[in-house]
Structure 1
């Protein structure tokens, strides 16, 4: 796992072996079983989570009682509830494992302390956050303006094996279409 973290970090910023050791010493490993929650709505998010392997989703329940999936995260992705994590307020969404998932947990207090002792880490997370914001903006500005078929085609072109790992009704929720319409789209591809 340490090597996986080193490779991931080096995509953005180079760290020395001792810096990686210091960072890694603050990470906690945990296995989450399928359907278990990493974070439940109403809890304060105290951690940032790195997916070693597995798959999770972030979702909320709308005022009609429907699940609205806002994000999926797979191997080598970070996930957290950013607002709750930064402001230490109750989360408005939940994070749940969709399959047995192994994560590394990075506690907020440890991250803040490491930012002081290893300033490059703050740069790393700034770059990661910028990439996340770009993805959110792309989804909001472009993705949601696409026709449903184009959204589906875009999803499967970027993440071809992803659609085999996620139940179709969840993909439909993420794409903001009905499961029935998704079924029709899949038949035409």
Structure 2
């Protein structure tokens, strides 16, 4: 199992002993997904908290009119999950779909509770991850109300510096809450300003 990227990431926050690393490795699963496959679909219960080893996913909601609303992209060393569904074990509000062939290290709901008991510092680690995610989500809500579409796009470029070439423009537009035509105008304007 390719667990080293996860261990490197965890090591930035907490220090695990070799024994704890072995316990962790025994409790997680590793899975490869093909481009287009779903990690979770709206209405299903999200059974895993996932760490992206390689690839790219999008998290999105489909409204009653069939319109797709992208709320997040996840690339290497990022996490992906419908966290509300995972924590409450109730039907997911979001779809998580692979935009590229993707490799994930997956923590099941049951195993994560076991890990917390066996390696208490992992509970602190995951608390920090969830806190960061909550703060990022709240700041995104504020940006969507307070920034112009152009400034939201510039922030997106800064937040996801390596992703713009990896995903279609219409998905970036969906994430920003604008049309792909308007995104095209913003990009043209930015080129003229250089």
TM superposition score normalised by structure 2: 0.94
Shift of 1:156: 0.9
Counterpart position of 1:2: 3
- Which residue in 2 is equivalent to 1:145? 146
Q: Which residue of 1 aligns with 2:183?
A: 182
Q: Name the structure 1 match of 2:80.
A: 79
Aligned equivalents of 1:133 and 1:157: distance in 2?
19
Q: Does structure 1 retain, via aligned residues, the 8 Å contact 2:59–2:96?
A: yes
Tell me the residue number matched to 2:15: 14
Query: Which residue of structure 2 lines up, in the alignment, with residue 32 of structure 1?
Result: 33
Q: How does 1:28-177 map to 2 (within 5 A)?
A: 28-177=29-178
Inter-partner Cα distance in structure 2 for 1:9 and 1:130: 15
Please identify, of 157-166 and 145-154, the stretch whose mean Cα deviation from structure 2 is larger.
157-166
Alpha-carbon separation, structure 1, partners of 2:87 and 2:52: 20
Root mean square deviation of aligned Cα: 1.1
Asked if structure 1 preserves the Cα contact closer than 8 Å seen for 2:60 and 2:96, the reply is yes
Local SS of the residue matching 2:165: helix
In 1, the alpha carbon distance for the partners of 2:164 and 2:145 equals 19
SS class of match (2:51): strand
| Structure 1 position 143, deviation (Å) | 4.3
For structure 1, list consecutive stretches of 5 or more residues without a partner in the other structure: none
